[in-house]
Structure 1
Amino acid sequence: MNLELGDALPALERPATGDQTIALNKLPQRIVVVYFYPKDSTPGCTTEGRDFAAAHEQFVAADACVLGVSKDSIRRHENFKAKQEFPFELLSDEDENLCQAFGVIQEKKLYGKTYMGIVRSTFVFVDGKLAKIWPKVKVKGHAEEVLAFVQSV
């Protein structure tokens, strides 16, 4: 399934850091930012998380909730979040249900080998409806671009 603009926030629950389960469609914030990344504690994913963390107060001021998602375990997420001091939650999607719902599991290539993995992507939902998609994200400047969009709605 690939989400399109105007689609509703999927009614899926995922285990999250902070010993909780988060139901995406039941979050109290008006705006929900869901960013998918390949793997905890890798350079690009760490930079992306730090950039979202640096802008966290501005996201909160815009009534936005930021959530990071990868296939890593909750234990890895807890360690990653603690080490980087992320002020937002990370969702574990080990069974890929959320990744499949968002269409972010795609064919990738590395060192001449082809495999299926998470393509770095960000989705912004406003009032429960998909308002913006960034597929195949480049990390540099991305969090700032998402924040600018969030502040504009």
Structure 2
Amino acid sequence: MAVALDQPVADFQAQATSGQAVSLADLKGQQVVLYFYPKDSTPGCTTEGQGFRDQHAAFQAANTVVFGVSRDGIKSHENFKAKQGFTFELISDKDEALCQLFDVIKLKKLYGKEYLGVDRSTFLIDKDGVLRQEWRGVKVPGHVDAVLAAAEALHKA
């Protein structure tokens, strides 16, 4: 069952770039942004990641750690991260455990064909592990600024 707003997020374990094992329990005391994107090195996903990279210091100032999440493997993530100079880690969710936890797998259409893909979505989790805000069906322009504003407001609250 998917996480609901203002409810605790179940602890999870995930593999990330830089050899990191990420667990929500280990991040207690910090706010967490998880942004789900369809695929490494595609135009929208690259632009979105660059936005989070460019605002990284501001997220850190708001006690917020950012993770990008897609179904791509670690090798693909490492290449994408290095090429774009991302200052945050990317989580590989090949088994779709996180995608299912946050209910981001949706039926999509491309050139008349239907397939199951990741719906671009972002989630803001507070320092106690409670989901405080979600953005679904994200359009990239202006999105990172909206997430940053919410993270800063939550940090000050």
CA distance in 2, matches of 1:10, 1:88: 22
Is 1:132–2:133 an aligned residue pair?
A: yes
Aligned residues: 153
2:52 aligned residue: 52
Deviation per residue, 1:67-122 (Å, 9 max, x gap): 00000000000000000000000000001111011100111111111110100000
Contact 1:59–1:65 (CA under 8 A) maintained in structure 2: yes
CA distance in 2, matches of 1:10, 1:79: 30
TM-score, normalization: structure 2? 0.94
Contact 2:28–2:129 (CA under 8 A) maintained in structure 1: no
Contact 2:33–2:124 (CA under 8 A) maintained in structure 1: yes
1:98 aligned residue: 98
Q: Aligned ranges for residues 4-153 of structure 1 at < 5 Å?
A: 4-126=4-126, 127-153=128-154
Contact 2:14–2:22 (CA under 8 A) maintained in structure 1: yes
CA distance in 2, matches of 1:138, 1:2: 22
How far does residue 146 in structure 1 lie from its aligned partner after superposition? 0.3
TM-score, normalization: structure 1? 0.97
How far does residue 29 in structure 1 lie from its aligned partner after superposition? 4.5
The ranges of structure 1 where at least 4 consecutive aligned residues each deviate by more than 6 angstroms after the TM superposition are: none
4 and 28 in structure 1: CA distance in 2 versus 1, 3 angstrom threshold: closer
CA distance in 2, matches of 1:55, 1:114: 35
123-132 or 22-31, which moves further after superposition? Answer: 22-31
How far does residue 8 in structure 1 lie from its aligned partner after superposition? 1.3
Structure 1: runs of 5+ lacking an equivalent? none
Deviation per residue, 1:107-142 (Å, 9 max, x gap): 111111111010000000112100000011000110
- For residue 122 of structure 2, give the secondary structure of its aligned residue in structure 1: strand
CA distance in 2, matches of 1:97, 1:128: 17
Contact 1:38–1:117 (CA under 8 A) maintained in structure 2: yes
CA distance in 2, matches of 1:116, 1:129: 28
